[in-house]
Structure 1
Amino acid sequence: MSRRQALRRVGLLVFVANLGLFAAKAVVWRATGSLAVGSEAANSLADAAYSAVVLVGLYLTTRPPDREHPHGHERIEPFIGLAVAAGIFLAGGAVAYNAVTTLLSGPVVVARGPVAGLVLAGGAVVKFGLYRVVLRAAEQRNSPALRATALDNRNDILAAGAALAGVLGAQAGIPLLDPLAALAVSAAVVYTGVEVVRDNLTYLVGGAPPEELRTAILRRALAHPDVEGAHDVVAHYVGPEIDVSLHIEVEGTTSLAEAHDIETAVVESIRALPEVDDVFVHVDPKELGEWKRDDETERLAR
């Protein structure tokens, strides 16, 4: 299955699942009046809204390259992640507002019966399944939009657990636990938004990839038998993909054709890493003395 098909299929699955969860929770909220269930319904509505945005965004970002976008459209993905974060913050704020106004309005009334607890427990199970599926797709396809969605699903599990604890505690004779659980849900929702913003800002501002990947890039360059050193190794995000530039040192007696072959082999080796998009390699004759001490490169090489 191609990356395009995989991302679009997962995006559609998330949208349908969130829409179904919202419908179930809204019905139960109307029947029971539980604020915790109502907050979870609001959270699921926000999830359905942002998953629709993600679905459209994944359609756009997986279009093939064209004249205006010769590298493709993958760089749209971090903006999709920020749209997800905006929806998450709105949902968290709405839940917190409802919980606080309920606490200030007087006695809290909670309906009896198992329905509220069952829908919250069922929602947590569905979210766990979504989390596993979406996270696996995000890692396999290097998708920040899906990674943001997976983070939201992970925290939704915790939020549903807090809401369930509030419902059960309230029905056990402590009704104050219901709005308090709603506040816990809002805190989990907002924390998810912070995580999503932090992750996607790295893609947008050209941050460095993880150290493990930088080490793999350097080691692939040094693995060529004719490369005797490397310096000025720079790897940074351009959208969700990584551009790499580096200098390699070779023997000064190497012919132009041989140097070209070395450069091509190093480029192809680094570009084989799934996260890497473009690689730029400058070949230096080692006798010119252009090498300069690079503590970071030496540390990664060790």
Structure 2
Amino acid sequence: MDAQQLAQARDQAMRKTSVVGAIVNLALTIVKIIFGVVGQSHALIADGMHSLADLSTDLMVWFAAKYSNQPADKEHPYGHARIETAFTVGLGIILILTAIGIIYDSGQRLINPDTLLQPTPIVLLIAVISILANEALYQYTVRVAYKVKSNLLKANAWHHRSDAISSIVVLVGVAGSLMGMPYLDALAALGVAFMIGKIGWDQTWHAIRELIDTGMEPKTAAAIERIIENIEGVQSQHMLRSRRMGGNYLIDVHIEVDERLSVSEGHKIAEYVRLKLIESDKNISNALIHIDPEDDSLEVLCVDLPFRREVLADLRRVWDGDVDAADCSSVTLHYLSGKVHIDLVRPLLVNDAQAQEKAQRLEQKAKTLTYVGDVRIFHQFTSQ
């Protein structure tokens, strides 16, 4: 299954889950509020508001699924996964505001005992129905959430479970009120409100941390570092960074390889590291691997050194009369430890007895350039 098919499957799963949740929560909202009024239970009415908040989250999940699973485009090269994160923030804020409203109303009733409601036994039955319905909805949603790796769905699943728990609180509060303790119903409403607020805060804070590019946990990062350092060809790693994008992590890291590897071999190692990281953790969607010939985490030593064009111009000048201008084009440059190190391959005639002397002269002339480090002259035998 390719990335597009996975996105489509994720979209369909999220939409289906949100529709099922919306139908259940719409029914629970209507039943709870109606029987909360008829049965005179402030706690059940508050629980109905909780179900209404869950209904709004189901609608948010549906819209988030529609837009967040769209493929990357020119304006959004990393995809649209953070649309889901933004919806999660909005959902959390709604829950917090809902909790504040319930706390205010319950507090007013506790301050003014005359306004306390007297629940009837029908409320107990509605609370039991709500507990069973929401726990079933939680089990269904959380399985899909882990299957498609959606934090928004996980949060929504916990909304369903919190609704089940709040209904248990309602059950206890109403039972206490029926036994002659009318304030327990209002206290139960307060308990439900604090639960709603806690879930809203946790959800909002987690999503905000993603939006400000908070990295993965230190323990997880350390495990990633160990994987990289155990890969053949990698001498060390540094500057590991990560950020979340929807349900996945994006990684970028510098790896140090042998300083004189070819570009193609360095790329081969980097690509292997990238694939290894993606295979090692299902939450890593991609990794950017930067190849270093030396550790540049503390200081970039070669940033002020001249580029190839200027170096070759200097070499043609100091080697004038010893090396043809065309031969300078075969020079290999190594930018290491704040110096430019030079490798030159020259043709060597079988009877050229002065080759070693010429090589030493070229090395000495090249080192008159202040930025030049090691100079290595290699000879290639030729019969002409």
TM over 0.5: yes
Query: Could you tell me whether the CA contact under 8 Å between 2:256 and 2:295 is conserved in 1?
Result: no
Matched residue, 2:290: 282
Segment drifting more, 175-184 vs 86-95: 86-95
Q: CA deviation at 1:117?
A: 1.0
Segment drifting more, 247-256 vs 84-93: 247-256
Matched residue, 2:118: 110
Matched residue, 1:227: 234
Matched residue, 1:295: none
Match status 1:203 vs 2:191: no
Matched residue, 2:59: 52
Q: CA deviation at 1:148?
A: 2.2
SS in 2 for 1:248: strand
SS in 1 for 2:188: helix
Alignment of 1:15-30 (within 5 A): 15-30=22-37
Matched residue, 1:246: 253
Say which of 150, 155, 168 aligns to 1:161: 168
Amino acid at match of 2:66: Y
Amino acid at match of 2:179: A
Matches of 1:109 and 1:16, distance apart in 2: 29
Deviation string, structure 1 residues 67-98 (Cα, Å, up to 9, x no partner): 33233211111111111112211221222232
Q: CA deviation at 1:259?
A: 1.1
Matched residue, 1:39: 46
Segment drifting more, 22-31 vs 97-106: 97-106
Matches of 2:295 and 2:199, distance apart in 1: 50
Amino acid at match of 1:87: I
SS in 1 for 2:87: helix
* Higher-strand-fraction structure: 2
**Count of aligned pairs between the two proteins:** 290
Match status 1:68 vs 2:67: no
Q: CA deviation at 1:212?
A: 4.5
Segment drifting more, 71-80 vs 139-148: 139-148
Deviation string, structure 1 residues 226-246 (Cα, Å, up to 9, x no partner): 112111111122454322111
Segment drifting more, 97-106 vs 203-212: 97-106
Cα pair distance change 1:290/1:35, threshold 3 Å: closer
Amino acid at match of 1:50: T
Query: Could you tell me whether the CA contact under 8 Å between 1:144 and 1:240 is conserved in 2?
Result: yes
Q: CA deviation at 1:291?
A: 6.8
Segment drifting more, 164-173 vs 270-279: 270-279
SS in 2 for 1:245: strand
Identity of aligned residues (%): 25
Amino acid at match of 1:84: L
Cα pair distance change 1:104/1:212, threshold 3 Å: same
Amino acid at match of 1:281: I
Matches of 2:156 and 2:295, distance apart in 1: 49
Amino acid at match of 2:287: V
Q: CA deviation at 1:151?
A: 3.0
Matches of 1:102 and 1:134, distance apart in 2: 36
Alignment of 1:178-189 (within 5 A): 178-189=185-196
Structure with bigger RCO (C-alpha 8 Å, 6+ apart): 1
Query: Could you tell me whether the CA contact under 8 Å between 2:119 and 2:174 is conserved in 1?
Result: no
Amino acid at match of 1:230: Q
Q: CA deviation at 1:163?
A: 1.2
Matched residue, 1:142: 149
Q: CA deviation at 1:183?
A: 1.0
Matches of 1:236 and 1:289, distance apart in 2: 23
The alignment's TM-score, normalised by the length of structure 1, stands at 0.87
Matches of 1:184 and 1:137, distance apart in 2: 29
Segment drifting more, 200-209 vs 121-130: 121-130
Amino acid at match of 1:42: M
Amino acid at match of 1:91: T
Q: CA deviation at 1:65?
A: 2.6
Matches of 1:282 and 1:106, distance apart in 2: 68
Q: CA deviation at 1:207?
A: 0.4
Matches of 1:88 and 1:289, distance apart in 2: 48
Alignment of 1:7-18 (within 5 A): 7-18=14-25
Matches of 1:52 and 1:238, distance apart in 2: 21
Matches of 1:216 and 1:99, distance apart in 2: 48
Deviation string, structure 1 residues 150-194 (Cα, Å, up to 9, x no partner): 332232232222111110000111111111111111111111111
Amino acid at match of 2:32: K
Matched residue, 2:183: 176
